[in-house]
Structure formats: structure tokens, C-alpha cells
Amino acid sequence: MTRQAADVQELEISLFLEALARHQGYDFRHYAKASLRRRVLALTAAVGCRNVSELIPRVIHEENFLRQVLSHLSVPVSEFFRDPPVFRALRETVVPLLHSYPRINVWLAGCANGEEAYSLAILLREEGLLERTQIYATDINDVALQKAEDGIFPSRDLADMERNYREGGGKADFSDYYNASYGFIRMADSLRKNIVFAHHNLVSDGVFCEVQMIMCRNVMIYFDEQLQNRVLKLFHESLTRGGFLCLGNRESLRHTDARAIFTTLDQELRIFRRAEEGRV
């Protein structure tokens, strides 16, 4: 691609994102540029457009096109008990402190297809906390949210799920928490009843609810510095005094304004706590 063609393509992407933000209210303009560019181009090819410019009238005039756009621009990637040391650390470090709360709200921001929400519900069940906990699992992608709410997953990766569960400190058998048939597993209703799946846009929406813990893992890697600071401030405002924040292993507070409003419990595993001093 020539420099001129590349410049035109960047202009097209900018105009498409502007139309998406102004007409539909979904603002991707502060997402990391390289990964967003790849996803916009993948969307363009998937819907049969010759160039990015052809997306603009469709996002403005086609009522059902937004669903396809969000499915491509968001990144619904997750797995059961992903990064098992994190779940083990939550059991050992955070759960003992959560026991002091009579009622617990947990916000799982960017829940993707729901594997992490069910993983967390299993952990809380085994630690005796699930019955007094409400998990709010949110995402911008309604297609992913529907999959999460259905709680049905392919069983082809079951061996990996079971290994992650054990390495994450699992205290029973992973098979206790699902029913299997025809190549799929369906998560137990006893887990699902404590999870609310809901649409929430971290870019533009405000505080979802007051919570004792927030998990938002490997979501902010797709945000630029300005948006990271906005979201971290939102998380601080959402957490109760001394509440906990768990980020992904590729994320950090080191180069953000949030260093002053969170203290570090485990830097390697990205577990933090709401500081009582400091302002953004």
C-alpha cells in the first residue's frame, strides 16, 4: 500500500469512528490504534465492503448493522480460570477480607462470553461466599453477553478447563458445576442465579454500581492512555472503601494517573486495593 493510500485509509477509519460515536454513541476513538485498525479492516471484509468508507452509511442508516460492528470491534476473549495463579491469589489474599462484608457486589467488566464470570462464581461457592454475593458481568458486545447468559460452552477444551480449575485452587471436581451433552457443557443453575449479565460501555457509561471487587482483565490493553485513566477513575469511584481491583497480566497502573488512588497487593498478578488518599 502506498503512503497516499494508507493516509486515505486512516482518514476513512477516523470518519467511520466519528460516525459510530456521534450517531450510535459508541466511542472507539481512544482505543489503541494498531489493534483497532486491524479490527475495522476485518469488519470491512466480513460485511463485503470494498473500503472502510462504505461502512459509514451502513452504520448510520441500517438499524441492525450496529450489532455486527460491535461484534467485530470488541474482543470477546476469555477462558475458564484463565491465569490460574490469579484465582489462587484471590482465594488466599482477597477472599479472607471479603468475608467481613455482610453482602458482596462484584463487577466483572468486559466479561466476554462469560467463562470468567462462572469461574468466579465457582471460586466464591467453594469459599462460602456465593450466597451473599451478586456478580454483575458486563460487556459492550451483546452477542457475547447472550452467549454468557446462556452458559453453554464447547466441551472440546474441557481438559484445559479442568487443569486451570485445579491449578487455581479448586476444591472439588470441575464436573460438579456443569452438565455435559452432545459436545457442550451447560453451567449449573446454582451458579447462574447469582450472576447478572448486562450491557455497559466503559468508554461512555458511568458508575455501574457500588462494589467490593472489580475484575477487568485484559480489556484496557486496547485503550489509549487517556481512556485508561478515565476507566480507572470510574473503577475507583465504583469501589467501596478498601475495595479490590484485579487487572490483566498485560496491564499496569505504573504509567497512569491511578497510581495515587490504588495501593498494590500483588504487582505480578495485578491485584490492587482502593486507596483512601489521593485524587485523580
150 beta partners: none
Residue 236 lies in a domain: yes
Gap between the Cα atoms of 258 and 264, Å rounded: 11
Residue at a domain's end among 51, 73, 95: 73
CATH number of the structural domain spanning residue 157: 3.40.50.150
Tally of structural domains, the chain: 2
162 with 59, same domain? Answer: no
Residue at a domain's end among 47, 73, 99: 73
What range does the domain containing 45 cover? 3-73
237 with 161, same domain? Answer: yes
Cβ count near 106 (within 10 Å): 26
Gap between the Cα atoms of 14 and 275, Å rounded: 37
Question: What is the four-CA torsion angle of 141, 255, 237, 133, rounded to 10 degrees?
Answer: 60
Residue 45 lies in a domain: yes
Cα–Cα nearest to 140, from 63, 227, 219: 219
Gap between the Cα atoms of 271 and 246, Å rounded: 5
Gap between the Cα atoms of 57 and 16, Å rounded: 9
Ordered mean pLDDT values, 10 residues apiece, the chain (280 residues): 80 91 82 87 92 93 87 80 96 95 96 95 97 95 91 94 96 96 94 94 84 93 86 94 92 80 92 73
Residue-level pLDDT at 162: 96
Residue at a domain's end among 73, 92, 116: 73
Residue-level pLDDT at 277: 58
Residue 97 lies in a domain: yes
Helix axes 65-73, 33-46, angle to 10 degrees: 140
Gap between the Cα atoms of 168 and 21, Å rounded: 40
- The angle at the Cα of 133, spanning 128 to 138, to the nearest 5 degrees, equals 135
Residue-level pLDDT at 279: 47
- pTM of the prediction? 0.85
Cα–Cα nearest to 217, from 231, 196, 198: 231
223 with 140, same domain? Answer: yes
Residue 170 lies in a domain: yes
63 with 107, same domain? Answer: no
Contact predicate 202/109, CB 8 Å: yes
Taking the CA of residue 248 as centre, how many other CA atoms within 13 Å lie in the half-sphere pointing to its CB?
A: 17
192 with 260, same domain? Answer: yes
Give the pairing of strands 195-199 and 211-216.
Answer: unpaired
148 with 40, same domain? Answer: no
Residue-level pLDDT at 22: 86
Residue 250 lies in a domain: yes
Taking the CA of residue 264 as centre, how many other CA atoms within 13 Å lie in the half-sphere pointing to its CB?
A: 10
Specify whether the backbone of 2 is left (phi greater than 0), alpha (psi in -120 to 50) or beta.
beta
Residue-level pLDDT at 278: 47
Residue-level pLDDT at 260: 83
Contact predicate 112/148, CB 8 Å: yes
Cα 184 to Cα 14, 160, 187, 225: the distances in Å are 41, 14, 10, 40
CA 176 from centroid of its chain's CA atoms: 26
